[in-house]
Homo-oligomer: A and B are copies of this chain.
Amino acid sequence: MAELPRHKVLLDESDIPTRWYNIIPDLPTPPPPPLHPGTGQPVGPEDLAPLFPEQLILQEVTADRYVEIPGEVLDVYRLWRPAPLYRAHGLEKALGTPARIYYKYEGVSPAGSHKPNTSVPQAYYNAKAGVRKLTTETGAGQWGTALSFACSIYGLECEVWQVGATYDQKPYRRMMMEIFGASVHRSPSEVTQSGKAILAERADHPGSLGIAISEAVEVAAGDPEARYALGSVLNHVLLHQTVIGEETLLQFAKIGEVPDVLVGCVGGGSNFAGLAFPFLREKLAGRMSPVVRAVEPTSCPSLTKGKYAYDFGDTAGLTPLLKMHTLGHGFVPDPIHAGGLRYHGMAPLLSHVHDLGMIEALAVPQSECFVAAIQFARAEGIVAAPESSHALAACIREALACKETGEERVILAALSGHGHLDMPSYQAYLTGAISDEVITEDRFTASLAELPEIQG
């Protein structure tokens, strides 16, 4: 029998990276610091202490190229890591492309996405610091599920504000958080001042990540035994996610391949940065030269149409000012099905890397993403999360371009999670109940006009 094509590139548990990679010391210029909204001065560790434990604050500002992963965290990572790298033979055949397509699949984790890569260390450091409860926001529910799981492992309480639109669309997500022991509120909620203020204006408000962040931050800041956990955007979150890229480098080395193009979806940017940063390190060192492309929804185009400016991370203006690609903290994206990509801003570190010209950005409409995801499911057997489907759409565009030119490019897609709890989104697409919003620039003129005056 002829040798069959391999589908998976697996690593051993002993191959899980033992340190996280911090891209900052390798950049030509450091990213602009977060600023205090009152003084306009860079925020110090003491400003963050009400929200985060010391170890995470140190990771947020570290200048070290590598940070050791605690053994207790590695031990939990081992429940699902290393995550598989797949060769998409089925999709290649369906497309008739000469390209070789690979995808790094984070859907094997307890929450079904890349989010536990950071929820586990975050819960660990908080538990070690004596924190009793973590609060957080969640968009699609992936992050809330991941933090609920991590809290169940380390014995912490977990209180989650879920964006109203997805709370309503995807009830299974809330149920999964409850299985892991969390309590979940629909955001905006009556539990917080920020939530009440917004409900007073509009009782059926669909919510947004920015609003949910305001609520979770408000509760954590008012409870000395509680802290807040963020699932994306911040440096320490991107740091934790670099296990994705480090593993993928090992996997490519194992099969002797080098990617020509990397694509991944971006909401806050953590999954994309987690895959891309270790590859960018290799590129900076001259060891490879992949094109690195972030893919966002056309209805929330912070990288392709936003402004690179200081803005609040949340809607109510409770966070420090972050220099990032933003549509304005008052921008409320339409309730598209990729709830995890409905964020007005973009991770400051990833925004900086984009500003340095190290990555490209592309916006795709959601109907194209569903077409891609259904083709992928029928060829590869995996139903992707609507967020991850943005990477698939970009991957298929690239593979079809190769079909035109005959180029045998090596494409690497970040498949951030499965869509098992997102079936109603597929249902909506299959029954013709979704369309692509035409987003014109005037949609965020107002929110961009309200950027803070302090601009570094």
Chain A residues proximal to chain B, CB less than 8 Å = 1-2, 4-8, 10, 12-13, 71, 74-75, 78-80, 90, 108-110, 112, 116, 149, 152-153, 171-172, 175-176, 178-181, 374, 377-383, 418, 420-421, 423-424, 426-427, 430
Contacts and interface: CB of A to CB of B under 8 A. Distances in A.
A180 B71 CA distance: 41
B10 A6 contact: no
Contact of A377 (B7, B179, B377, B380): B179
Contacts of A383: 176, 179
A180 B79 contact: no
Copies of this protein chain in the complex: 2
B377 A180 contact: yes
A71 B1 CA distance: 8
A114 to B, nearest CB: 14
Contacts of A421: 172, 420, 423
A175 B422 CA distance: 10
A6 B78 contact: yes
B110 A108 contact: no
A378 B424 contact: no
Contacts of A79: 7, 90, 380-381
A423 B172 contact: yes
A431 to B, nearest CB: 9
Nearest to A428: B175
A211 to B, nearest CB: 25
B378 A178 contact: no
Nearest to A116: B381
Nearest to A148: B378
A20 to B, nearest CB: 16
A175 B420 contact: no
14 contacts: A4-B13, A5-B75, A79-B380, A108-B108, A110-B381, A110-B382, A112-B420, A153-B378, A153-B379, A153-B381, A175-B424, A176-B383, A180-B378, A420-B421
